[in-house]
Amino acid sequence: MTEVTGDQSAATLHRKIVLAAADVLEKEGLDALSTRLVAARAGVFPPTIFRLFGDKDGLLEALGEHGFATYLQAKSRLPQSDDPVADLRCAWDLHIEFGLMQPAYYTLVFGQSRSGHLSRAGREAVAELQRMVTRVAAVGRLRMSVERATAIVHATGVGVVSTMISTPSEARDLEAVHATREVVFDAITTPLAAEAVGAPGAGPAGPAMALRAALAESRPLPLSPGEELLLMELLNRLADVHHDGG
């Protein structure tokens, strides 16, 4: 069995345990992932895991980050074109592809969420998604607030992947996946023809979110914290008014 001696050894041992957990997850599945089995696979005593990770949830957080590292790097490095909506479509496709290629990690991060809690890897993925949605807002092509559009894309993407994972590979309808993507994008974005302020179908959402994105690039604003909070609330309300029945 291995013991920790110094920060260098602690970091090395931390990685060794995460890799052992990854081996269990990839070969035997999430249900087999116990601290006792991971400790045996890593060649350490079970208390070492609790000392380094706090508890099993801490180990699962680290394992999720390990599994999502490649995906998050690929997502952050997606080329940025002059069409942020097209870029967001590429991000959607990457999300679906990763989920189907790495179902164990995907289920660990998005399928095991406790009520009111999303793993660190999941939060990082959502933050990167919101960054991309904000680019769409900056060109005035959102039908709603950045937060609401992000929530819709995230919830739908996770739902699609979870459904595909639970469906036998030979029965998966990838055309339905593409159709769902287009339904979602039609719901959250305006077409190019409606990009200009006042164009039919644009409504107040596009200009409101474009102003919000522009203000985010112009900090610090000549406003008090309370005034800035009120302004953001008003812009979001304008963006979401039609979807709230206003």
pLDDT per residue as tens digits for the range 169-219 = 899 999 999 999 999 999 999 987 544 444 445 577 778 888 888 887 777
Average pLDDT of span 62-71: 89
> What is the residue-averaged pLDDT of the chain?
85
- Which carries the bigger pLDDT value, residue 29 or residue 70? 29
pTM comes to 0.77
Separation between Cα atoms, residue 140 and residue 63, nearest integer Å: 38
**Torsional sign, CA 62, 64, 70, 71:** negative
Report whether pLDDT(243) > 70.
no
Separation between Cα atoms, residue 246 and residue 238, nearest integer Å: 9
Q: Under 8 Å CB-to-CB from 35, ≥6 apart: which residues?
A: 46, 49, 50, 56, 59
| Domain 6-54 classification at class level | mainly alpha
CATH 1.10.357-classified regions of the chain: 65-244
What is the model's pLDDT at position 154?
96
65-244 CATH, one of 1.10.357, 2.30.29, 1.10.20, 3.30.200: 1.10.357
Report whether pLDDT(159) > 60.
yes
Question: What's the distance, CA 40 to chain centroid?
Answer: 32
**DSSP alpha helix (H) spans, 109-224:** 120-138, 146-165, 174-188, 205-216
pLDDT per residue as tens digits for the range 82-111 = 999 999 999 999 999 999 999 999 999 888
Instruction: Please check whether residue 161 is in contact with residue 176, taking contact to mean a CB–CB distance below 8 angstroms.
Output: no
